[in-house]
Amino acid sequence: MEMLPFILATVFTAATPLLIAALGEHVTERAGVLNLGVEGMMIVGAATGFAAAVLTDSSVFGILAGALAGMALSAVFALMVLVFATNQVATGLALTIMGLGLAGLIGQGFVGQPRAAIPPVKIPLLSEIPVLGKAIFTGDFVFFLSLALIAFVAWGLNRTRFGLLLRAVGESHGSAHALGLPVKRIRLVAILFGGLLAGLAGAYLSLIYTRFWSPGMSAGRGWIALALVVFAGGHVWRLVLGAYLFGGITVAQLHAQAGAIGLPSQFLSALPYLMTIAALLFLSISGRKGAGAAGSLGQPFVPER
Amino acid sequence: MSFNLALVPRREVSLLRQVLTPVLALVVALLIGGLIVWMMGRSPAKAFDVFLREPLTDPWALQEVLLKSTPLMLISIGLIFCFRANRWNIGAEGQFLLGGMFGGGVAIATHGLSGPWILPLMMLAGALGGMLYAAIPAALRNRFGISEILTSLMLVYVAELLLDYLVRGPWRDPKGFNFPQSVPFTDAAQLQPLFEGGRLHAGFVLALLAVLVAILVFRRSLFGFAVKASGEAPRAANFAGFNEKRITLVVFLISGGLAGLAGMIEVSGQVGQLRPGFGQGLGFTAIIVAFLGRLSPVGAMLSSFVIAVLLIGAESAQVSLKLPFDLTRFFMGLLLIAVLAGESLNRYRLEFRKETA
């Protein structure tokens, strides 16, 4: 029982970057844009965040810089798909390839440098509750920020006028355009928001989760975040559930490796990727696709005059 | 950002424009790349010399270029079938690795034996490995409607871990001082040089053959037409009686098989044993090759050479200019972006408008 709050806390730490990146991509995809560059934006956020934190000796500033770096990369994507109407799948892939290289260049001088932990935030009174107090109400500030982001995205998409417009644009850009909605402008906001969150998720990885920078450290998390968005099928709560489930699998797999249960470690390391496929399969078999993808997802938008 | 830029479709795209677009994209990407080299405090002139001139003028390096272009050509030819059909196999890297493991597995199993049948058997095994691995995302898409993009990509990570397991576990060379690598292949399991003292092997000829077959399939066969139709007008293709699911499966099998064959050729002809990291990201680079070649077989062949020149240049730039390989990776992404923008300007004219669109 003494281990439980500790284990729960590590589950939340492992899940938070997935959750943040997936929330961002969820908004982007609701607006009808498929950005496969999450992995690239995430790792650039991780490298930039770490480098900025070391240079300014402020982890908070590093996290901010990481988020902005992710957004900067998403601006390139926005320019391509909104102005040039390029193929979104190929452009997203290009963003990921470019991001992996760029992150390597940025992080070059920072490999192996350690970084101190950010002091945890304790919610007064609530953090005194046994088990849950230590697991949920004591954490880094980005963890609490991610909780606020869940609420913000759910509220913003479902309860605000802008959210309604954003979903309308995603569902049918042709109709939205005919109604006089600024399709490209709304999509620009959604893409930049997705980039900001992917960068934030990356900075969380290098500054809070591992607390060092190593090349390729995002290790497919951006792709898992993309799968989580599919898994969510348009519902934010399912996205949150999926992210914490994946955090749980990641931590369980690490414990199993440490506990040497006889399986080769590579098989356990492959679990998150196999589980991603299994989750998509389960979704399809159970027929719980939810609202599904936005109607105009991934299609280039070239308005007629 | 203001949006008073509008895209106006072009009625006709001249052949000259079609040919010049990728060239122009390459030039733009090279200029931006040069700017970054300059920002990193190195001489761009020296970098161009190492990246572009040396691999093309030095006879030894020229052979390396052809060797490097071999897997790129094979994989990208396969990917063209997928991308033309608007199916997104982005896991060629995994299929490449599986091909290497299947082919390498045959080499390990027949270790110590000799005979002219070993290499063909390895090739068959390699192609089969890639095909089986590519069949997974295709089947998941056909049977369960799961996006092939994510599944094919996830399987790349699984393939890397499988290779890692094999060379550290059951296939580790007992005399290899605990290094994670298999036994070195015997001569019977290695593609031999085509001419005395050289390094170029039959894999390159096979790659050229694949280009030729692809040209014929796209120009002359009903299947080639079905692939294009399915990608450009899926509804019309359906009405024409082309089976959508069968096309998905076949294009995945073609690209998986060619990537697997490329993996076997890399392991047998270049590395000479199984070891982690023999993939080198070539399966991803081949995606860029396919787009730079405008998804045509001849284009893919030409851009395989161009990208191979850059990769060989990058290897020597790491030593002579201390330019990290990440710069090349960044450049590759940049190049793909430039190519995509060029494609768009091929199809549309950019027009400035007063009001917002």
**For residue range B234-259, what is the model confidence (pLDDT) as tens digits?**
888 888 888 999 999 999 999 999 99
A103 touches chain B (CB under 8 A): yes
Can you tell me the distance from the alpha carbon of B171 to that of B316, in angstroms, rounded to the nearest whole number?
A: 32
- Are B149 and A277 in contact (CB < 8 Å)? no
Q: pTM value?
A: 0.92
pLDDT attached to residue B357 = 43
Task: Find the CB nearest B329 among A80, A85, A100.
Answer: A100
Look at residue B50 and tell me if it is in a domain. no
Interface test with B, best of A73, A97, A282, A283 (most B CBs within 10 A): A97
CA distance A219 to chain B (A): 8
The model's pLDDT over B263-305, given as tens digits with 9 standing for 90+, comes to 999 999 999 999 998 999 999 999 999 999 999 999 999 999 9
Partners of residue B193 on adjacent β-strands: B201
Cα dist. A35→A210, B33, B199, B333 in Å? 26, 24, 42, 15
Which chain B residues have a beta carbon less than 8 Å from that of A269?
161
- Are B161 and A285 in contact (CB < 8 Å)? no
Tell me the pLDDT band of A290, cut-offs 50, 70 and 90.
Answer: low
Q: Are residues B283 and B337 in the same domain?
A: no
Tell me the pLDDT band of A113, cut-offs 50, 70 and 90.
Answer: confident
3-state secondary structure of B10: coil
Q: Are residues B246 and B352 in the same domain?
A: no
Q: Are residues B18 and B82 in the same domain?
A: no
Look at residue B55 and tell me if it is in a domain. no
Task: Find the CB nearest B146 among A86, A91, A280.
Answer: A280
| Burial profile B197-216: b = 16 or more Cβ within 10 angstroms, e = fewer | eeebbbbbebbeebbeebbe
Q: Are residues B342 and B296 in the same domain?
A: no
- SS3 annotation, A59-115: HHHHHHHHHHHHHHHHHHHHHHHHHCCCCHHHHHHHHHHHHHHHHHHHHHHHECCCC
**Structural domain containing residue A49:** 3-141+151-286
Sign of the CA dihedral running B306, B308, B310, B313: negative
For the segment B155-163, the average pLDDT, to the nearest whole number, is: 96
Q: Are residues B225 and B284 in the same domain?
A: yes
Sign of the CA dihedral running B76, B80, B83, B88: negative
pLDDT attached to residue B224 = 93
CATH code assigned at B134:
1.10.3470
Q: Are residues B145 and B226 in the same domain?
A: yes
| Burial profile B25-37: b = 16 or more Cβ within 10 angstroms, e = fewer | bbebbbebbbebb
Q: Which of A126-135, B44-53, B157-166, B311-320 has the lowest mean pLDDT?
A: A126-135
Look at residue A233 and tell me if it is in a domain. yes
CATH code assigned at A91:
1.10.3470
Q: How many separate domains does chain B show?
A: 2
Task: Find the CB nearest B341 among A86, A184, A215.
Answer: A86
If we measure between CA atoms, which residue out of B212, B204, B209 comes closest to residue B268?
B204
CB B215 within 8 A of CB B297: yes
The model's pLDDT over B72-91, given as tens digits with 9 standing for 90+, comes to 999 999 999 999 999 999 99
Residues sharing a CB contact under 8 Å with residue A280, sequence separation 6 or more, in sequence order: A227, A230, A231, B140, B144, B146, B147, B150, B151
Phi and psi, residue A139, nearest 5°: -170, 180
- DSSP letter at B201 equals B
CB A58 within 8 A of CB A116: no
Q: Are residues B208 and B307 in the same domain?
A: yes
Q: Are residues B220 and B314 in the same domain?
A: yes
Interface test with B, best of A38, A76, A88, A93 (most B CBs within 10 A): A93
**Structural domain containing residue B250:** 64-322
Look at residue B194 and tell me if it is in a domain. yes
